[in-house]
Amino acid sequence: MAKTDFGPPDFRELIPPVIKENYGKWKYHEVPQQGVLRHVSESGAVLHSVRMASPRLVSGDFIREISDIAEKYCDGYLRFTTRNNVEFLVSDANNVDPLLDELDDKGYLVGGIGNVISNIVHTQGWIHCKSAVTDASGITKSIMDDVKDYFTGKIALPARCRIAVACCINMCGACHCSDIAVVGIHRTPPRIDDELASKICEIPNTVASCPTGAIKPNPRTKSVTVNQEKCMMCANCTVVCPAMKIMNPAKDGVSIWVGGKVSNARTAPMFSKLAIPFLPNNAPRWPEVTDAVKHLIEVWAVNAKKGERMGEWIGRIGWERFFTLTDLPFTNQHIDDFTTAKTTFRSTTQFKF
């Protein structure tokens, strides 16, 4: 029987000596240039980290290539960030520039630090998930091609802007708390294969899976029925009951949400809010989506004060002004009707015309 339950390799054996020695003793950091972090320890020791964009979905070639680079400049030490960038951990300051040169030569992008757009956190999409309404990798690539100058710092921004992409409303990531989130959505209710349902559907679980209470057992067909007026096309029932099908290539699409954040800096974490309820699912490059994202970034960049993230900016100017400045229509879809909807109603006469 194979060895089990031994856990991952011990990180303490995979960190460079400078980290081992200065663990917990880092004193401050600076950013000598975009893409480079210079951490200084209480002991005076210095570590440079060089951050490089990654597509996240990578090949063995990529793994071997970054390993080679790490070996060449970093004694083999590197890490990934929580947003899936690669960080080369350079102990010898003299290696920083040569490393940057090599990355540049190879066409890799360096950046992602501070008030920029870092890598997009995204999900599986059609590459591996059965629930995918759209392809997260494709949208991510299309957006990042367009906004890469914000990653490399070529164009300045008022604050960091975190973009996330999810292929369905399960939102595997932090779409619900991102400055800009792109989320695949359905717009038509599930279709039920009654025949199949009567055989395989665990009806109580299916009924319970519906957030809006739209599903009722149908004793006649031994299946279930969906109240179309209550169904919010969340697809959760389709995860629980394979006899419910919701994919609808002609009608499914993409929604955009804005103003979320997770850090507690200055303001509390915030949920992202609906900005654009529907854009077409226009593979392979989703021009409507990339245009919308760029537009949102640009309106924010022009109007926000220095240091104001998307949600903080909107918090200051108000959502009514957000919709006029972005020229986006405010629709029925924007108005919440879920369980705590009433807490979103504007119970004050304070608003802007």
Partner 1 sequence: MEDKKTPLLDELEKGDWPSFVTEIKKAAATKKNAKDLLNQLEKSYGENLGHWKHGGIVGVKGYGGGVVGRYSDSPEEFPDVAEFHTVRVNQVAGFFYTADKLRQLADVWDKYGSGLYNMHGSTGDIILLGTTTENLQPCVDELADIGFDLGGSGGAMRTLSSCVGKARCEKACIDATDIIRDLTLHYQNEIHRPAFGYKFKIKVAGCANDCCASTARSDLAIVGTWRDTLRIDNKAIREEYVEKGFNIVDRVIVKCPSKCLSWDAEKGVLNIIPEDCVRCMHCINEMPKALRVGTEEGATLMVGGKVAIVKGAMIGWVLVPFMKMEAPYTEFKDLLDKIIDWWAEHGKNRERISELIERMGLVTFLKAVDLKPLPQMVREPRSNPYIYWSPEEVENNG
Which one, 82 or 350, has the nearer CB to a second copy? 350
Count how many Cα atoms sit within 13 Å of the Cα of residue 11 in the half-sphere of its side chain.
6
37 lies in the site for ligand SRM, by CB under 6 A: yes
Q: Residue 349 binds which entry of ligand SF4, a second copy, ligand SRM, none, with Cβ cut-offs from 5 to 8 Å by kind?
A: a second copy
Q: Backbone dihedral region of 173: left (phi > 0), alpha (psi from -120 to 50 degrees) or beta?
A: left
Q: Residue 160 binds which entry of ligand SRM, ligand SF4, a second copy, none, with Cβ cut-offs from 5 to 8 Å by kind?
A: ligand SRM
Residue 346 Cβ, how far from a second copy at the closest point, in Å?
Answer: 8
Which of 103, 231, 270, 292: binder of ligand SF4 (CB under 6 A)?
231
- Name the phi and psi angles at 257, rounded to 5: -125, 145
x/- letters, 285..314, toward ligand SRM (CB under 6 A):
------------------------x-----
112 lies in the site for ligand SRM, by CB under 6 A: yes
Q: Residue 255 binds which entry of ligand SF4, a second copy, ligand SRM, none, with Cβ cut-offs from 5 to 8 Å by kind?
A: none
Which one, 40 or 196, has the nearer CB to ligand SRM? 40
83 lies in the site for ligand SRM, by CB under 6 A: yes
141 lies in the site for ligand SRM, by CB under 6 A: no
Question: How far apart, in whole angstroms, are the C-alpha atoms of residue 44 and residue 161?
Answer: 32
The angle at the Cα of 125, spanning 123 to 130, to the nearest 5 degrees, equals: 115
Residue 160 near residue 116 (C-beta atoms within 8 A): yes
Residue 139 near residue 291 (C-beta atoms within 8 A): no
209 lies in the site for ligand SF4, by CB under 6 A: yes
Residue 87 near residue 51 (C-beta atoms within 8 A): yes
- Quick one: which H or E segment has residue 20? helix 17-22
Structure-block tokens of residue 36: 């480079």
Residues 309-348 that bind ligand SRM (CB under 6 A): 309
Q: Residue 118 binds which entry of ligand SF4, partner 1, ligand SRM, none, with Cβ cut-offs from 5 to 8 Å by kind?
A: ligand SRM
Q: Is 278 helix (H, G, I), strand (E, B) or coil?
A: strand
Which one, 221 or 267, has the nearer CB to partner 1? 267
Residues 13-52 that bind a second copy (CB under 8 A): none
120 lies in the site for ligand SF4, by CB under 6 A: no
Which of 4, 82, 264, 332: binder of a second copy (CB under 8 A)?
264
Question: How far apart, in whole angstroms, are the C-alpha atoms of residue 119 and residue 151?
Answer: 8
- Quick one: which H or E segment has residue 90? strand 86-90
347 lies in the site for a second copy, by CB under 8 A: yes
- Name the phi and psi angles at 128, rounded to 5: -150, -5
Which one, 72 or 222, has the nearer CB to partner 1? 72
Question: How far apart, in whole angstroms, are the C-alpha atoms of residue 344 and residue 125?
Answer: 31
213 lies in the site for partner 1, by CB under 8 A: no
Burial of 112 (0-12, 13-18, 19+ CB in 10 A): buried
Question: How far apart, in whole angstroms, are the C-alpha atoms of residue 310 and residue 299?
Answer: 10
Beta strand 253-258 with 180-185 is antiparallel
Listed residue (200, 197, 234) closest to 216, CA to CA: 197
Q: Residue 112 binds which entry of ligand SF4, a second copy, ligand SRM, none, with Cβ cut-offs from 5 to 8 Å by kind?
A: ligand SRM
339 lies in the site for a second copy, by CB under 8 A: yes
* Residue ranges that bind a second copy, judged by CB under 8 A: 264, 268-269, 339-340, 342-343, 347-350
* Residue ranges that bind ligand SRM, judged by CB under 6 A: 29, 37, 81-83, 85, 112-114, 118-119, 121, 123-124, 128-131, 160, 162, 170, 172-174, 239, 261-263, 265, 309
